[in-house]
Structure 1
Amino acid sequence: MELQRMAQGSAREVFKVFLKLGLTSFGGPIAHLGYFRTELVDRRRWLDDQQYAQLVALSQFLPGPASSQVGFGLGLHRAGMRGALAAFLAFTLPSAVVMAVFAFGASLFSGPIGTGLLAGLKIVAVAIIAHAVLGMARNLAPDRARAAIAVVAAGSALLLAGSFGQVLAIAFGALAGYFWCRGKDAGAAAAMQFPVSRTVGISCLSLFAILLFGLPVAALATGWDLLGFIDAFYRSGALVFGGGHVVLPLLQSAVVDPGLISSQEFLTGYGAAQAMPGPLFTFAAYLGVLVDSGPGGAAGALIALLAIFLPGFLLLLGVLPFWNRVSHWPAARAIMHGANAAVVGVLAAALYNPVFTSAITSAPAFVLALLCFVLLTAWKMAPWIVVAIGALGGVLLGVLA
């Protein structure tokens, strides 16, 4: 099995960019998509909005951590498999290390300053996502048909709870695009191509299925605690749509219900994960340290992280070669125009709930979010600077309150 080469950039370049994103991308998976777009579409021009939305839509359809799958795909597109691994490591490492340390008893966010810092990071996520929605709407929903698709998709994502509404919204967008978006290829960018062969894709899909069904059987047959430990995290990563918050009940049933960790420890760690930049799936590092059936310590954190992220990446690699083949078909292009417009609606819905409703709880908070939005859009300020300003503003609001 060999990956085809695509020499657009280097793994070192990808690692540096995603390390900055891993250190500054607060706010959860939807916010991460905003950070990615600002950094890689607006600032670095690695790809355009059409290509970016294609990858977002594809990741929304697949189980796994959606924002991490998008990051993995962006690294793959830029620098091949080395770039994909570099993107994953750099984006995941900062929060994973902090979560593992937190599991050993480090109390990170307490008191009015800590509370204000968390509030500020939520507020700046409002500005980041609003900026992404505005930019994507201009490019992906520029006419009546696609604007209507975006509005219906937003309604679906808001009115139908959970990831089901998001998946249904993109499915509707794809169907509507097939009928309403024919002949809209003028000036559109080429479909996003990925250096993955069909052999690699089929192998990844096979391995995904073998591990999903084989791990619980092997754990039961051998009675080996480590296999059960790996299965708990792999199954959680394989069966979750939408990533992040959606994995909570799956992990809870996998580690709390069997008595491998207390409910209080579980909720404490999940609360800390909300404060971290990067993917919420790094909550697995915290659990890997504490869960009784695993090796514990750094080894437990590492195994838990690999197990929970692996299924999503196997699925993405498995599907991409077939997407490479069909993406040039006129019908597929029309479908993606509709799906891209639906992505705008899904992001707009997430901007309202849970991002805006949980972060903007007062007039000063709204003013701070508006300031961050203007710094991003009118002043063209780098996102990490805006994050720092939002965090400091949140601390100030917390102290004054």
Structure 2
Amino acid sequence: MKREGFLKDIFICSLGAFGGPEAHYGVITDQLVIKKEYLDEKELVELIALCTMLPGPTSTQTIVSIGYKVGGPKLAFLTMLVWALPVIVLMTMLSFLYKFLDSVNLSHDILRYIGPMAVGFIIVAAYRIGKKVIVDKMTFFLLLFGGVTTYFFRKSIVFPIVLIIGGVVSIVFSKEKDLWNRVRLNPPWIYFLIFLIFAGGSIALSFLFNNIIINLFESFYKYGYLVFGGGQTVVPLMITELVDIKGYMTSGEFLTGYGLVQGLPGPMFSFSAYAGGMAARGNYIVQIIGSLVSSIAIFLPGLLLIYFIYPIWENLKSIKGIKISLKGINAVAGGLIAASAFSLMQKNGFAIDNILIVIFTSLLLFTKKLPAPVIVVIVLVIGFLF
């Protein structure tokens, strides 16, 4: 009965989870901590710290960790399904949006302001994350380093390298002592082994076979273990590979999906269902499979890492070096987001109406006058009218 009640509460959280990880934590606190007391605020903050240190979707990993705490690995898996599946289904359906517009003879131009709107969301995310991660001169310069480097060198391999550099710099300049204090750990290695098998196996299969489904699994699984900070930070990695390198979709199509997902509740990583579907379009069945495979692939690394890390969390969190490295990693990630906003705006065009939509969206988000879904609807209406 406790399990059924918990999953119902997770579903309530998923329906109210607009606006990215920071907003998600507010919903989680209200429903799971204050109302239902599955854990206290101190435990939630500790879980957020754990998931922030791991690659993958931070709010999803946090809520999966709560499921693990309440009912073990089985409930953790069901928690992820209830949390993510509704919006994944919606984003899969939206990947057919362009075909629908063709079938009813509607112009794609009604979606033309979704891209600039998405840029507004990214700008606000970059500002808010920047305020949070810039705590001294070092983090300020790391944010600049991350932004400038990834703007001029937009290769997928660059992103994890600059994140690692940020973590190393943070440790090197730390004045803390005994950073790598010894702790006794007994991790469930089987989950980490599965994580490595999927990583290595997908790369090998993608190299051997030129198959769109295999390639999508390899790409999205990689996004799942290379990205720190959740949905916003995966954007520069995705657009570089899916748009610039592989040409699976145009920047306008990418931004349309990214803009639409802002108006839906649930984890930002559900954008993978739209992107995977767009990349595999041409055949309805293959497109649905592409959406499903991409969604599974991007969430799987984070789930496996939680299964590996959570059982040893109580001991792991006492290692100072891990916490300190996160300071630099987050600063660099803020730079990545800022660079992606400028790059995407360049691709979308600096026409006066696009700039006005970016300003309009940013102001509404900063003032918090309207929720994200309402902003999406307004921008769609503007595109339709003009």
Is TM (by shorter chain) over 0.5? yes
Structure 1 counterpart of 2:217, one-letter code: Y
Per-residue CA deviations over 1:215-235 (Å, capped at 9, x if unaligned) read 689x99xxxxxxx77545434
Asked whether 1:198 is paired with 2:165, we answer no
Q: Would the alpha carbon gap of residues 318 and 289 (structure 1) be closer, same or farther in structure 2, given more than 3 Å must change?
A: same
Q: Which residue of 1 aligns with 2:274?
A: 282
Aligned partner of 2:198 in structure 1 is 208
Q: Contact 2:249–2:278 at 8 Å: present in 1 too?
A: no
In the alignment, is residue 350 of structure 1 matched against residue 340 of structure 2? Answer: yes
- Structure 1 residues 83-132: Cα deviation after superposition (integer angstroms, max 9, x where no partner): 22223312311121233586689647842xx41x3222112222212222
Which whole-Å CA distance do the structure 2 matches of 1:50 and 1:156 have between them?
A: 32
Letter in 1 for 2:323: R
Contact 2:277/2:291 (<8 A) preserved: yes
Residue type at the aligned position of 2:319? W
Give the aligned partner of residue 84 of structure 1.
Answer: 80
The two structures have a TM-score, normalised by structure 1, of 0.65
1:314 aligned residue: 300
Does the CA contact (< 8 Å) of 2:276 and 2:290 recur in 1?
yes
Aligned counterparts of 2:102 and 2:11: Cα–Cα separation in 1 = 28
1:141 to 134, 137, 153: 134
In structure 2, the CA distance between the partners of 1:142 and 1:318, relative to structure 1 (3 Å rule), is same
1:151 alignment partner in structure 2: 144
Q: Describe the shift of the 1:307–1:370 C-alpha distance in structure 2 as closer, same or farther (beyond 3 A).
A: closer
Contact 1:15 1:90 in 2 (8 A): no
- Return the alpha-carbon distance in structure 1 between the equivalents of residues 353 and 243 of structure 2: 34
Structure 1: how far apart are the matches of 2:136 and 2:363? 26
Structure 1 residue 335, shift from structure 2 partner: 0.5
**What is the rounded CA distance, in whole Å, between the counterparts of 2:384 and 2:98 in structure 1?**
21
What is the distance in 2 between the residues matched to 1:366 and 1:313?
34
Question: Residue by residue, what CA displacement relative to the aligned partner does 1:350-389 show, whole Å, maximum 9, x if unpaired?
Answer: 12112x2234522333233222222221244322222223
Matches within 5 A, 1:162-311: 162-182=155-175, 198-199=188-189, 201-202=191-192, 204-205=194-195, 207-208=197-198, 212=202, 231-238=214-221, 242=234, 244-246=238-240, 248=242, 274-276=255-257, 277-278=260-261, 279-285=271-277, 290=282, 297=285, 300-311=286-297
Could you tell me which amino acid in structure 1 is paired with residue 77 of structure 2? Answer: M
Closer, same or farther: CA 15–215 of 1 in aligned 2, 3 Å: farther
Percent of residue pairs bearing the same amino acid type: 13
Count of residue pairs brought into register by the alignment: 329
Runs (5+) with no aligned partner, structure 1: 1-5, 25-34, 60-65, 185-196, 221-227, 253-262
Counterpart Cα distance in 2 of 1:109 and 1:77:
46
Contact 2:114–2:255 (Cα < 8 Å) also in 1: no
CA distance in 2, matches of 1:318, 1:369: 38
1:131–1:377 contact (8 Å) kept in structure 2: yes
Alpha-carbon shift at residue 328 of structure 1 (Å)? 3.4
Asked if 1 retains the 8 angstrom alpha-carbon contact of 2:202 and 2:218, the reply is yes
1:75, CA displacement in angstroms? 4.0
Q: Distance in 1 between matches of 2:204 and 2:145?
A: 41
Are residues 93 and 147 of structure 1, via their aligned partners in 2, closer, same or farther at CA, if it must alter by over 3 Å? Answer: same
Provide the C-alpha distance between the structure 2 equivalents of 1:381 and 1:359, rounded to a whole number of angstroms.
Answer: 24
Alpha-carbon separation, structure 1, partners of 2:126 and 2:137: 17
Alignment RMSD: 4.3
Q: Secondary structure at the match of 2:135?
A: coil
